[in-house]
Amino acid sequence: MTVVGPFGLSVWDEALEADVKAGLQAVEEGLLAATKSDVPFITDTARHLLQAGGKRFRPLLVLLGAQFGDPHAPGVVPAAVVVELTHLATLYHDDVMDEADVRRGVPSANSRWGNSLAVLTGDFLFSRASHILADLGPEAVRVQAEAFERLVTGQILETVGPREGRDPLDHYLEVIAGKTSSLMAVSSRFGAMMSGAGEAAVHVLAQYGERIGAAFQLADDVLDIASDSHESGKTPGTDLREGIPTLPVLHVRRRYAQARGNVSAEDERLNQLLDGDLTDDDLHAEALKLLRGHPALEQARRDTIRYADEARAALAPLPDIPAKAALAAMCDSVVHRAG
């Protein structure tokens, strides 16, 4: 047994550890190469979040998925670079939309250089990802294009909100399936595809990515409410401040509606705050405190566990190799983030 990886996984054997460490190092080198521009200022902005760190969760999914075929196949590392570049690009755009001040423990690109340059830097990263993707073949381009459509659709659905008569919680789960699960599914799928794994493994790993992606986002929702900026690397309650209803808030609203007026003074106050303007620092802090003590937060944790369990179950058809155990352990690690 050994310990490796961004989540401190403890089930990896030595050969897998060495393989993944080498792969992640190659991915880092690829990311540095992909974010280098002839214009030094663009290199600075493109590497801003890259050099701030990050878990490299998506590249790790690619590398583990590749273990079910030839993990050293030439397309594996470039595919991992593509998914991380795509993810980084979305962070630049998300921070503009959320008006976030902090990302990964450093000032967000928009707070440092303004919204326009942050958006353009995100576009630059998308273009670099597309350039690498073009060398991976038309099927890879199609898979990435479909995922990107889902990602953008999820962002649009989040922005416009649920249509009349739609359950807000169902709407939210559709949003995260697009915004987060789509790229996670591509990551594990790309690993299997690029390594030459069989079609059955490609399908299983795509399903795993979908579910672990949902669990990952729901854990993020819990972390955003329950942690401070030191733990999460970004400003707590950012979505709350912007009026974006994440899972804990949706559970608060559902419990309030089901109570039909028979609620405590704290619940009444919390729902009043959630219906108001939380850009005020004092009101935001009050809402955050009430949410941290609310049963809805524990319900959100249980939802996270459910999706993680589904991800683990999806792995059942795969052969029992160390990579399968590592992917299963990721489910526990994601849940631990929300603990």
9: confidence class by pLDDT, cuts 50, 70, 90: low
Cα 49 to Cα 33, 103, 144: the distances in Å are 15, 8, 22
Q: Does residue 72 belong to any structural domain of this protein? A: yes
Q: What is the mean pLDDT of the chain?
A: 89
Q: 132 lies in which domain range?
A: 10-337
Q: Please compute the mean of the pLDDT values over residues 173-185 and round it to a whole number.
A: 95
Residue with tokens 């590249």: 59
Q: Does residue 157 belong to any structural domain of this protein? A: yes
Q: Does residue 4 belong to any structural domain of this protein? A: no
Q: Does residue 5 belong to any structural domain of this protein? A: no
Q: Please compute the mean of the pLDDT values over residues 333-339 and round it to a whole number.
A: 77
Q: Does residue 1 belong to any structural domain of this protein? A: no
Dist. CA 203–CA 219, nearest whole Å: 25
Q: Can you give the CATH number for the domain in which 122 is found? A: 1.10.600.10
- Total of domains in the chain: 1
> Does the pLDDT of residue 1 top 50, yes or no?
no
Q: Does residue 331 belong to any structural domain of this protein? A: yes
Q: Does residue 231 belong to any structural domain of this protein? A: yes
Closest CA to 21 of 59, 49, 52: 59
Q: Which pLDDT belongs to residue 338?
A: 64
pLDDT, tens digit, 9 for 90 and up, residues 181-232? 999 999 999 999 999 999 999 999 999 999 999 999 999 899 889 877 545 5
| Cβ atoms of 188 and 206 closer than 8 Å | yes
Express as a percent the part of the chain with pLDDT over 70. Answer: 91
